[in-house]
Structure 1
Amino acid sequence: MYLKEITILNYLGETMELKNNNSTNVDVNGLTFELSENVSIQKIMFKNKFGVEVAGHLYLSKDLDTSKKYPAIVIGTPYGGVKEQGAGIYAQNMAQRGFVALAFDESYNGESKGEPRHISSPDLFVEDFSAAVDFIGTRDFVDREKIGAIGICGSGGFSITATQVDPRIKAVATASMYDISGMFREGFGKTLTDEQRAEMMVQMAKQRWVDFENGSPLVPEGFPRTPADSIPEGLDPVSSEFFEYYAMKRGFHINAGASFTATSGMSFMNFPLMNYIETISPRPILFIIGENAHSRYYSEDAYERAAEPKELYIVPNARHIDLYDGGDNNYIPFDKLEEFFKKYLK
């Protein structure tokens, strides 16, 4: 039976029917890319172990035969991004290549539930990967022994950390990976001094009193709520790059302000990610980085610490954000990702 009428059950006890190849409950105009005519997309909801309802987009090839079982990929967003952006582009392309693909929003962000909004928490964001595996591995047309994960930017670190303790993830790939715990504790390029780190913790601790007295946490202003026409003068190169993606037409989405509660950094300073990366072996890791990415040292450091099998794949001329959407030069190496997952999810 082809994709004519599938009932997808989620942890909320709800049902969602895909009555034909073209039916969808997703506003495709809200995607930052053009939906392929070769895939179908459905919005799904599932709960993580903390009880938070996580929102995802499930991508399926229109040639999918539900009497068979397929390998699957769960895909996290860039840090501060949403499933309608880069994660969706990866999911769509992997679905076209024969995988069941699920792009999801982190808890408390995007269309996922959770109050207060815009919390960033390493334990939650790592758990969301395992919760996505819970969901996708219970689909009748998925081979639960063939599930992989892709993490983009910050979710690269979360995907690896989840893989450390969740052996159901048989292979993991990252693109433009960020170690968010390292970013908070060490600063960009490991430039944060002990004194600066101590002052950051003092300021965040004081902010907790303010948040408690106000009854809600402070969320610093993020990117503009409407697409900007140009990059403001005076931004440093890294900020300019993120502004180009999140705040301009290239990647703008109303749910992706890329701003989290002011005290979120406390959790990351106390929760180092990827501490046990070597224990993922003998499951494989693929690190994809841009040649000109400001973030490449995160992947290079992780690659050195990881055990075999591992691979570091460098995309010529690409910057950090060029692996979010491919840019004008189609930088994302989807052929490499297909080769990697077909080799190890066999």
Structure 2
Amino acid sequence: MLDIPLSALEVAMVQTGTRAVDTLRDTADFARGMERLGYHRLWYAEHHHSPAIGAFPPVVLTAHAAASTSVIRLGSGGVLAPNHAPLALAEQFGTLAALHEDRIDLGIGRGPGTFDEGIARALRRGAGPATDAEYREDVAAVLSFLVEEVALGPLPEPWLLASSAAGGALAAALGLPVAVAHHIRPDNTRAVVEGYRAAFTASRWCERPRVLLCVETVCAQTEEEAVWRAGPMNVVKAGLLQGLSRTPFPTPEQAAVHPFTEQERQALDGFRAQQAVGAPEAVVGRLAQLAGETGADELMLTTPVYDLRERIGSYELVRKYWGR
């Protein structure tokens, strides 16, 4: 198997029949589980106004997890620059890096984190979506403030999230390591990686191109069980295909009887074929294939499974078989 690190992305699903506070209580247990299993880093995503995913600020979850662990790297994957003042981001993550030396990452992304236009405008105090130029200025400002205004000691490690060739090009121009969102837009992965490597310019942040590939991964003892556990996220995705985020995160039993349209089934089957869902041998084989095809320096797994124990169990199986 390829000798590259495995990491985790947590999106903090709020399960049907539970409260957001229950999900928050699970985050510390999940972080400790990832550290126990030897995962390299754990990132938190920014989402807003979704009944399926908690609106928990990545900086807060990072701080909470850092207080509950000792060695795993932690951070945002990502914090969405258009929603925040650059100086505030630099201060928040600079403070975390000073408190937890050599453990904090600042992964920066672009999207609003919501499908609700009203919420998106509220996050930007009435402004519309950020332009390409505004996003670039925001990212550059965060990096500048980290060095010139914050600099409390050790700095967080900055990453740029990319799901398009434009995102990869910006990471290359700024000399940042890139986290490729294969779990969101797998059809763009090759263009992102190839364009990034071709245009990369070294910087104080990164001397050579560094690629982290994020893959949706659900692993169980059998393929049937893995598909069963992956069912709830399929319901959420079916809503996203329609530009909606109103679907709560259902139980596997509810997902099993959800009335998908034929178009939705084809889209979901096509998406799953590009991820890593199945029994351990098939999952690690697929992950190794993706790493080999992209030359990724690191794999990050996101596992949107309903039950916390089953979610950690998926990561445990992958870790166990990855080293064989």
Which is richer in helix?
2
Higher relative contact order (CA 8 A, sep 6+): 2
Q: Tell whether the structures are fold-level matches, with TM greater than 0.5.
A: no
Q: TM-score, normalised by structure 2?
A: 0.34
Q: TM-score, normalised by structure 1?
A: 0.32
